[in-house]
Structure 1
């Protein structure tokens, strides 16, 4: 069983993803509660077309499932958590329509309910795409915890929707109400962005929710200088691939190899697919998978896995996703296969890696990053 969320709209059992034993973190926050309490007090119109953006683990979608909402997210984990939580509460899947971040809902939106995402570029992209679908009297309500609500979120809503009005803070959460301005002229949607990869002829595409949209980040730049150089490797995986530039360069260095790109972000995989196609056109094939790390990959199927693990999940910092990546990589690698990992120095990944693989070699280091290599014995 999950933890129980009680609201005026009902009580529901909810779990986070990825699952962890003795999980103490809830699958919702005070901002979810504030928004649900407000909707219950104000009343929700029957047969309203409700669209939910960036629901973390399905709390909003599950509680509002009686209204058959559409939930849009860039996170595979968020979508899967929503499915799991619907099932946990005996609610049919079809009560909630799940869309990825690059898809559009039906027109005539009556309620647009927004959890402010960590990456405001994602919100900007979403507002650009959804603004033409809003009814004139659409209720637009954004919410988040005060400590993670930057003033630029207000400005985005005002620039792309219309006038805003903030609520009082309750349990360190806040609501932002935006009124649809019918006379507002939308500027051009700036996403996806593109930049020229240094020392190459590649133009890199980055969708809005992909890390470091405007240039090559310093961690990836360092990793590209120290990619595996084993001609025996035939099956590579770019795990947590982002825009896929690591996998693209692995493919360039290994002309006969098969490359797999995996990320839980739909926008990351869309970026990786476009960048691989731009680099190789129809001359190479690759695998692209939106998934929870390597959960759906067969055991002993890869020669080399390269990854730069995240050390946060939305606004929650922790090493559980990195540890999941390391454990699954150990299962997916063939005997003699290599996991190559880059991380910030302070994360001490080598301790977990040595415990799991029995070996861990430092490949390179600079003032901020360390690159490790582990071989499956």
Structure 2
């Protein structure tokens, strides 16, 4: 846990799930820069009257600091929402002081202040600006914030094209602010998201089927090579009753499992609301009407009761925002072991250099390499 010091007060903040060994803070210099600007430390204080919307607040630092203005937080991250709830409670702020929304929810009808923590994904920014633009007016205060490495000319062009004239601040501690003056007369065009493409041949039951990707999903215009390698080496169905596509992304792996065993119950799990919307759309586009599946926003397998799953299929991420880490994969592996029935299996695809076989052998007591190529391995661990 770390303490964020602002002119509004001091706030104890942490990421989610809380890990005392985690060296990363729940905020960075861009959050600090934005809060200083709002408080008038670098000029006139911003008017936060009316409806305040905060887009992309990663761990709730911004809305916790300005909770007295009853902000609306919009996020793509389940973990970000859980961090916000925990940080509000940790700092004695009532849970209803901040209205929590996802990127798939309808925005407030009128937005008077729009604060944007620039996301890693330019596509997600484009999608969200399109969704929010009809709700801003000519007097809406629009301020973006990001690290210098996160703000590019393409970022500014999106603000210009969808919202209106845009300028940037000087850099401070490698962070920068974006100021945008909304022009409601702009012909901003239609939102290009979601997008669809057909899967290539040679990958079993899903060859040629349609994939739907909402903005912000990894490899939105093609099948990523790691997922393709897993699809080419999926286990036979063998009557498995409950299959989980863990970290499902656009859901193509879970779709393959559903098509391979029509009697199987398939659960799609991701912490991204955009990913779950993609997985649901991909599933619905390719299965018969009435075919069911479950779609869960969760921290890995934490929502799964112990001993209820036969097979987990997993292509784990090895980064959190811009930080490289195996913490997420480790939580996924631990959660999978707890949720699997005895004899249940975890199948993982990953880059060879990540060394997942070491972690799986330590956790399960066994690990078999099912397939490998110069870049990837598919690993199988069985709960004994």
- TM-score, length-scaled by structure 2: 0.95
Correspondence for 1:77: 79
Correspondence for 1:24: 23
Contact 2:347 2:378 in 1 (8 A): yes
Shift of 1:46: 5.6
How do 1:179-258 and structure 2 match up within 5 A?
179-199=181-201, 200-258=207-265
Do structure 1's residue 39 and structure 2's residue 41 form an aligned pair?
no
Correspondence for 1:318: 325
Correspondence for 1:14: 13
* 1:336-355 C-alpha deviation (Å, 9 max, x unpaired): 11100000111111111110
Shift of 1:17: 1.0
Correspondence for 1:160: 162
Determine the C-alpha separation between the residues in 2 that align with 1:154 and 1:350: 43
Q: Secondary structure at the match of 2:39?
A: helix
* 1:256-292 C-alpha deviation (Å, 9 max, x unpaired): 1110100001111111112212222334211110111
Correspondence for 1:133: 135
Determine the C-alpha separation between the residues in 2 that align with 1:162 and 1:351: 52
Determine the C-alpha separation between the residues in 1 that align with 2:222 and 2:286: 17
* 1:151-201 C-alpha deviation (Å, 9 max, x unpaired): 211111111111111111111100011111233111111000011122335
Q: Secondary structure at the match of 1:260?
A: strand
Correspondence for 1:259: 266
* 1:280-338 C-alpha deviation (Å, 9 max, x unpaired): 23342111101111111100101110000000111111000000000110101111111
In the alignment, structure 1 segments of 5+ residues that lack a partner are none
Correspondence for 2:304: 297
Contact 2:196 2:212 in 1 (8 A): yes
Do structure 1's residue 124 and structure 2's residue 123 form an aligned pair?
no
Instruction: State the superposition RMSD in angstroms.
Output: 1.2
Contact 2:239 2:261 in 1 (8 A): no
Change (3 A) 1:248 1:8: same
Determine the C-alpha separation between the residues in 2 that align with 1:348 and 1:34: 38
Change (3 A) 1:49 1:339: same
Determine the C-alpha separation between the residues in 2 that align with 1:207 and 1:89: 35
Correspondence for 1:143: 145
> Which stretch shifts more, 259-268 or 203-212?
203-212
> Which stretch shifts more, 268-277 or 25-34?
268-277
Determine the C-alpha separation between the residues in 1 that align with 2:22 and 2:226: 31
In the alignment, structure 2 segments of 5+ residues that lack a partner are 202-206
Determine the C-alpha separation between the residues in 2 that align with 1:327 and 1:151: 41
* 1:178-237 C-alpha deviation (Å, 9 max, x unpaired): 111233111111000011122335221111021111111111111100011141321100
Determine the C-alpha separation between the residues in 1 that align with 2:177 and 2:47: 20
Shift of 1:85: 0.5
> Which stretch shifts more, 103-112 or 324-333?
103-112
Q: Which runs of 4+ in 1 moved over 4 A?
A: none
Determine the C-alpha separation between the residues in 1 that align with 2:156 and 2:76: 21
- TM-score, length-scaled by structure 1: 0.97
Instruction: Identify the match of residue 66 of structure 2 among 57, 64, 67.
Output: 64
Do structure 1's residue 332 and structure 2's residue 370 form an aligned pair?
no
